[in-house]
Amino acid sequence: MHEHTLALSAHLQDAVLACFGDAYAGIDPELRPATRPEFGHLQSNLPLRLAGPLGLPPRDIGARLIDAVDISTSSIHRLGGLATLELAGAGFINLTWSPDVLGAVVRDLLTDPHLGVSAPESPKRVVVDYSSPNVAKQMHVGHLRSTVIGDSLARVLTCAGHEVIRQNHLGDWGTQFGMLVEELLGEGLRDPEAVAGLDMAELLALYQRAKARFDEDPAFAGSARRRVVALQSGQPATLALWQALVDASMTEFDAVYSRLGVLLTDDDFDGESRYNPQLPRVVDDLDALGLLTESAGAQVVYPDGFTGRDGTPLPLIVRKADGGFGYAATDLATIRHRVDDLAVDRAVYVVDHRQSQHFEMVFAVARAAGWLPDSVEVQHIGFGTVLGPDGRPFKTRSGETVTLTALLDAAEEAAAASYAGPDVVRMVANAAVKYADLSNHLARDYVFDLARMSATTGETGPYLQYAHARVCSILGQAPQQTYAAGTPHHPAEQRLALELGGFAPVVAKVADTLEPHHLTAYLYGLSTAFTAFYESCPVLKAEGEVRQTRLGLCEATRQVLSEGLRLLGIEAPRRM
């Protein structure tokens, strides 16, 4: 039906050209779902929008357009029997699909395991860089957003027919490891196996002790710096303790991933440490290309078009004055790996919007160096901050950032108020958190309001799960159906069929825009259409063809809801 909508849009555009000339070429009729059933299925306000520029009454414009669509022989053939157009109100064009078209939508869904999602013309190989927490630190709400958004994007891109390479760019390298290893040794913790068994609380406490000593004790700070050198030169005992710290953290991260039910596995870890051997070459190559400048002892690049508030050019620091390589050098090496070795067509970085300048500059330098050909698209998908009930960045009472685990605990507590059983509670809590995270425009900050997020009514994850469970319960009472969908005649049946036809287009849209909120909004619309259908159209009590048609609608709804929820990383329960 999406093709039909596009065709119809094109017919209206042709009609505009035929009636009013080239000045209005390419105008979008903006066909939108009708706001009320009596307005048909789709509406366009094109006549109203043209009235000003043309200086004509909107209804006259509408009448001429509808005539033009009807008399143009090529269009009448293709539109024949598909839909009727009507002039309405102050100057709207209402479109009503024929019931047969809507029946075909449902029939197509029921026979297509891909639910209408077709393979792209040119499938892309896409890196999705997401989650990416830091070793020996807690995952916080920012990492939650990256994990949830990145996971959904990875699923949608895969569903849309692309090849996805997940990369969890773990912060597992840097000067803090000198301090951490030195602290371990100072405390007599020399056994890597014991260190690898530390849990998150112990790792965090270690980090805090090390940091306190580093700040207070110059002798300790000195040995910590020497320890960084030992680590970088691969001294075995130092390397073993570092690896143990990384392993301990990875175990903790894996526990969070399995709790959240995200796709990330150990194979997706792509730690910063892996790029360490490539960093000198990054600097040398930039130097050979003449891109490198020295600034206060540091090696920097000034990419074109980046200036500070005072108008002076902004440097991207690749090598610090103390000789250490920075975060930017690692990201440059990472881009080279992704382009040269992984041969990607597109790389998507799902990271807090506060890092947007970092990524813009890294991308600009990589392009200038010729490491990032124009054929490869790179995008930083930034996202806003999670706010507490007071509308300020979410902090604990003592002013610390809220850990991911604390946040998931709180969500489970909220879910436990309405649901019983640990599995159900976890499933509902994850749905509440993920839906809230994905349903906002990514760039927008949002308030972590558990009561609202966990409600079973309104635009929430649990509401969608509930709709899914309800449709499963109906189908479960009508066993061994073949779901031979017939023609929907009731307005609520038609509206549901219409919504179902929107699934494939919305998947394509999210794969293209990387904005998951289109999918959450779509599934919410589908669930409300299903609820309205369920309230006005008895299914099990109906008979004959009507019953068949309604069961077919239920089954198609079940499939689309379950697949849609899966793409959001949300479980679709058969009962709740």
Residues that bind ligand ARG (CB under 6 A): 129, 132-134, 169, 171, 331, 334, 349, 351
What's the min distance (Å) between Cβ of 172 and ligand ARG?
A: 9
Secondary structure (3-state) at 397: coil
How far apart CA 373 and CA 505 sit, in angstroms, is: 30
What amino acid occupies position 487?
T
Asked if residues 7 and 97 have their Cβ atoms less than 8 Å apart, the reply is no
Q: Give 169 or 227: the residue with its C-beta nearer to ligand ARG.
A: 169
Single out the residue of 488, 501, 493, 478 nearest to residue 535, CA to CA.
Answer: 493
Pairing of strands 163-167, 125-129: parallel
What's the min distance (Å) between Cβ of 404 and ligand ARG?
A: 12
Q: Give 132 or 559: the residue with its C-beta nearer to ligand ARG.
A: 132
What's the min distance (Å) between Cβ of 230 and ligand ARG?
A: 23
What's the min distance (Å) between Cβ of 20 and ligand ARG?
A: 51
How far apart CA 362 and CA 368 sit, in angstroms, is: 10
What's the min distance (Å) between Cβ of 175 and ligand ARG?
A: 15
Q: Give 132 or 460: the residue with its C-beta nearer to ligand ARG.
A: 132
Q: Give 58 or 133: the residue with its C-beta nearer to ligand ARG.
A: 133
What's the min distance (Å) between Cβ of 375 and ligand ARG?
A: 20
How far apart CA 35 and CA 39 sit, in angstroms, is: 7
Q: Give 248 or 425: the residue with its C-beta nearer to ligand ARG.
A: 248
Asked if residues 465 and 576 have their Cβ atoms less than 8 Å apart, the reply is yes
How far apart CA 195 and CA 209 sit, in angstroms, is: 15
Helices (H), 55-98: 58-71, 73-79
Q: How many CB atoms lie within 10 A of CB 108?
A: 17
What's the min distance (Å) between Cβ of 177 and ligand ARG?
A: 14
How far apart CA 14 and CA 20 sit, in angstroms, is: 10
Q: Give 39 or 327: the residue with its C-beta nearer to ligand ARG.
A: 327
Q: Give 102 or 404: the residue with its C-beta nearer to ligand ARG.
A: 404
What's the min distance (Å) between Cβ of 354 and ligand ARG?
A: 9
Using the Cα atoms of residue 566, residue 353, residue 454 and residue 502 in order, give the sign of their dihedral: negative
Three-class secondary structure assignment of 104-159: HHHHHHHHCCCCCCCCCCCCCEEEEECCCCECCCCCEHHHHHHHHHHHHHHHHHHH
Asked if residues 516 and 510 have their Cβ atoms less than 8 Å apart, the reply is yes
Q: Give 355 or 456: the residue with its C-beta nearer to ligand ARG.
A: 355
What's the min distance (Å) between Cβ of 313 and ligand ARG?
A: 23
How far apart CA 512 and CA 348 sit, in angstroms, is: 12
What's the min distance (Å) between Cβ of 145 and ligand ARG?
A: 11
Single out the residue of 54, 67, 60 nearest to residue 23, CA to CA.
Answer: 54
